[in-house]
Amino acid sequence: MMSWRYGVRMIAPKRTTVYFAADVHRALRLKAAAAERTISEMVNAAVRASLAEDAEDLTAFDERRKEREIPFESFVKDLRRRGRL
């Protein structure tokens, strides 16, 4: 089942329960009201942003997979040798 909301195609949402600290819940309620959005929309946007950031990190790891590994100790010694530390 699909629906449209604010010009965005939405697949039927799944229901879950999330527990927030009272002050976080109040802040979220106030922000959602000020933005004329629901708490669910705010939480979905935050989760999507976090997942997108994770996807970017995974892409960066894949792109750097072929780089030569340098042990941390060697890296620090090299920084000291070059006067960077």
Q: Are 42 and 33 in contact (CB under 8 A)?
A: no
Residue 13, domain member (yes or no):
no
Segment 33-56, tens digit of pLDDT: 999 999 999 999 999 999 999 988
Q: Can you give the residue range of the structural domain that contains 35?
A: 21-81
Residue 66, domain member (yes or no):
yes
Instruction: Give the three-class secondary structure for 79.
Output: helix
| H and E: helices and strands count for the chain | 3, 2
Question: Count of domains in the chain?
Answer: 1
Residue 32, domain member (yes or no):
yes
Instruction: Give the three-class secondary structure for 45.
Output: helix
Mean pLDDT by 10 residues, the chain (85 residues): 63 90 97 96 94 90 88 95 93
